[in-house]
Amino acid sequence: MAAMTRSPSRVPALALELVLPVNAVVCAGLWLRHGPGEVHNLATGLVGAGRLTGLLGAYLALVQIVLLSRVPALERLAGLDRRVAWHRPAAGACLGLLGVHAVLITAGYALGDRLSVPAEARRLITGYPGVITATAALVLLIAVTAVSAGPLRRALRYETWYFSHLYVYLAIALAFSHQIATGSDFVGDPLARAYWTALYLVTAAAVLAGRVAAPLLSAARHRLHVLSVVAQGPGVTSIEIGGRRLHHLRAHSGQFFAWRFLTRDRWWETHPFSLSAAPDGRRLRITVKGLGDFSSRLAAVPVGTRVIAEGPYGTFTAAGRRCTRVALIAGGAGITPIRALLEDMPAQAGEIAVVYRAARAQDLILREELDALAACRGAEVHYVTGPDRMLSGAELRVLIPDIAERDVYVCGPPEMTRSTRATLRGLGVPARHLNVERFTL
């Protein structure tokens, strides 16, 4: 999967950044209308604080769903790169607030009822139907967050990681039933009920628009289908997709789509792959390395198979360019968007240098195409192989002596991109000249 690091415009992103905290203030303001008036002692104070943290945690859960809903208008406001960057801290804050909510509510009621915390927890779960649904929602969110943690995520197949996140929708539904049905801030407050119901409805509409309506409309309009399937080497396959009015997609080299191939056994799966050739209005091409069940099966996808594509997404494009000279650095399968950029990035002979890092020479994919494009465009291509997957500063200085004066595009596995980014900063490349895309499962 891909995640980018620069958005095309700061102004729309700033507008969205302002909307998010303003709504949080409104949520807190609705609680302030009567919440503080119910605080009379330590017990009610703990309960009141618990209700506020629960409201803010629920709001952050909805924010995360909307940020990654793939609504086209949202993509234009702020690229997926910035939204993913917001999503990560928001997920941690959401889980923390909901956990604090559960602890404070239980402790407050335990103090007021003169019971132990375990006894109060049992009483709340067995005596209030909404509490057991909220507990189930919290457990689901903890499980999904654990699955997303670095070590565990790397150990899982993409399919397992992806489908585990569908449980977030169930957790949100359970939280809604608890919040509206039993939350004291809603039972006697029509304004709060209306506002929060609207928040949940907007979230549901965003999911339906971005995840269902937009892909189906695009499929009907463009009628994408597989034109050819070409083996590029052991375990590597290029797939060309044709359709109608592809220029209306406004796709650019360096971007990616979420692809769904409508075969009998895999029609329900969506996977992100970057374009590996410059889009020309007649066809789109991806190049896939067989790393999982889905990508391995694509080598056998029949010609003519219908395709649904969500996108294009991403800002790893020539639009972010500031310098005349450019360095394109790739690791492993990260060469695919780099190859597309090499094909049509505006430049004169001698202005583009490519560095391609792989563990073994046989792991270098699309090499013949890279050599042909380099010869045609007057670009330099350097192949670096060996067991160490990271590029050192000394290597980059030798290969591209003026790298500090270039725009630099880096694409590859997370460890490689993190290491290369730090190395480039150490070589004096300004952060504003860095465009980084990470390929992860």
- Lowest-pLDDT range of 153-162, 230-239, 356-365: 153-162
With tokens 């943290």, the residue in question is 53
Q: What is the pLDDT of residue 121?
A: 92
Range 162-168 contact pairs with CB under 8 angstroms and sequence separation of 24 or more: 162/269, 162/270, 167/140, 167/143, 168/61, 168/64, 168/65, 168/140, 168/141, 168/144
Q: What is the pLDDT of residue 211?
A: 85
Q: How far apart are CA 146 and CA 355, in angstroms?
A: 35
> Domain with 390 in it: what CATH number?
3.40.50.80
Query: What pLDDT, in 10s, does the model give residues 240-260?
Result: 999 999 999 999 999 999 999
Q: Sorting pLDDT into bands at 50, 70 and 90, what band is 11?
A: low
Q: Sorting pLDDT into bands at 50, 70 and 90, what band is 187?
A: low
Provide the Cα torsion 409, 344, 336, 373; round to 10°: -110
pLDDT over threshold 60, residue 8: no
Q: Which residues pair with 384 in a beta bridge?
A: 357
Domain co-membership, 70 together with 208: yes
Q: What is the pLDDT of residue 183?
A: 61
Q: What is the pLDDT of residue 441?
A: 42
Domain co-membership, 307 together with 374: no
Residue 90 placed within a domain: yes
Q: What is the pLDDT of residue 204?
A: 92
- Total domains in the chain come to 3
Cα separations in angstroms, 163 against 70, 158, 268: 17, 9, 11
pLDDT over threshold 50, residue 3: no
Q: Which of the residue ranges 169-173, 209-213, 221-225 has the most confident prediction, judged by mean pLDDT?
A: 221-225
Q: What is the pLDDT of residue 131?
A: 86
Residue 159: count other Cβ atoms within 10 Å of its Cβ: 15
Given 212, 235, 250, which residue is the final one in a domain?
212
Cα separations in angstroms, 233 against 63, 238, 266, 366: 43, 10, 23, 9
Nearest in space to 258 (alpha carbons), one of 86, 90, 69: 69
- Lowest-pLDDT range of 16-25, 204-213, 376-385: 16-25
pLDDT over threshold 50, residue 134: yes
Rounded to two decimals, the pTM is: 0.78
> What integer is the mean pLDDT of 436-440?
72
Q: What is the pLDDT of residue 155?
A: 67
Q: What is the pLDDT of residue 309?
A: 93
Domain co-membership, 69 together with 192: yes
Q: Sorting pLDDT into bands at 50, 70 and 90, what band is 280?
A: very high
Domain co-membership, 59 together with 174: yes
pLDDT over threshold 90, residue 87: no
Residue 190 placed within a domain: yes
Q: Sorting pLDDT into bands at 50, 70 and 90, what band is 282?
A: very high
Given 280, 313, 346, which residue is the final one in a domain?
313
Domain co-membership, 278 together with 330: no
Domain co-membership, 365 together with 297: no
**Percent of the chain clearing pLDDT 70 (strictly above):** 89
Domain co-membership, 56 together with 186: yes
Residue 16 placed within a domain: yes
pLDDT over threshold 90, residue 7: no
Q: What is the pLDDT of residue 117?
A: 93
Residue 381 placed within a domain: yes
Cα separations in angstroms, 30 against 55, 178, 192, 268, 319: 10, 18, 6, 41, 43
Over the chain, what is the mean pLDDT?
Answer: 86
* Lookup: tokens for 348: 């004169």
Domain co-membership, 265 together with 157: no
Q: Which is more confidently placed, 439 or 189?
A: 189
The full length of the chain comes to 441
Q: What is the pLDDT of residue 293?
A: 67
Q: What is the pLDDT of residue 422?
A: 94
Q: How far apart are CA 222 and CA 281, in angstroms?
A: 11
pLDDT over threshold 90, residue 181: no
Domain co-membership, 262 together with 356: no
Domain co-membership, 204 together with 241: no
Residue 79 placed within a domain: yes
> What integer is the mean pLDDT of 217-239?
92
- Lowest-pLDDT range of 16-20, 121-125, 433-437: 16-20
pLDDT over threshold 50, residue 210: yes
Q: Sorting pLDDT into bands at 50, 70 and 90, what band is 154?
A: low
Q: How far apart are CA 199 and CA 179, in angstroms?
A: 12
Query: What pLDDT, in 10s, does the model give residues 358-405?
Result: 988 888 999 999 999 999 999 999 999 988 768 889 999 999 999 999
Residue 217 placed within a domain: no
> What integer is the mean pLDDT of 96-119?
94
Q: What is the pLDDT of residue 97?
A: 94
Print the domain residue range for 22: 2-212
> Domain with 302 in it: what CATH number?
2.40.30.10
Residue 218 placed within a domain: no
Query: What pLDDT, in 10s, does the model give residues 336-353?
Result: 999 999 999 999 999 999
Q: How many CA atoms lie within 13 A of 164 on its CB side?
A: 19
Domain co-membership, 99 together with 234: no
Given 278, 313, 348, which residue is the final one in a domain?
313
pLDDT over threshold 90, residue 226: yes
Q: Which distant-in-sequence residues (6+ apart) come within 8 Å of 286 by Cβ?
A: 238, 239, 241, 257, 259, 273, 274, 275, 276, 336
Q: What is the pLDDT of residue 151?
A: 66
> What integer is the mean pLDDT of 79-99?
83
Domain co-membership, 105 together with 236: no
The dihedral sign for the CA sequence 122, 127, 129, 131: negative
Asked if 239 and 226 touch (Cβ cutoff 8 Å), the reply is yes
> What would the 3-class secondary structure string for the chain be?
CEECCCCCCHHHHHHHHHHHHHHHHHHHHHHHCCCHHHCCCHHHHHHHHHHHHHHHHHHHHHHHHHHCCCCHHHHHHCCHHHHHHHHHHHHHHHHHHHHHHHHHHHHHHHHHHCCCHHHHHHHHHHHCHHHHHHHHHHHHHHHHHHHHCHHHHHHCCHHHHHHHCCHHHHHHHHHHHHHHHHCHHHHCCHHHHHHHHHHHHHHHHHHHHHHHHHHHHHHHHHCCEEEEEEEEECCEEEEEEECCCHHHHCCCCCCEEEEEECCCCCCCCCEEEEECCCCCCCEEEEEEECCCHHHHHHHHCCCCCEEEEEEEECCCCHHHCCCCCEEEEEEHHHHHHHHHHHHHCCCCCCCEEEEEEECCHHHCCCHHHHHHHHHHHCCEEEEEECCCCCCCHHHHHHHCCCHHHCEEEEEECHHHHHHHHHHHHHCCCCHHHEEEEEECC
Q: How far apart are CA 350 and CA 5, in angstroms?
A: 26
Residue 182 placed within a domain: yes
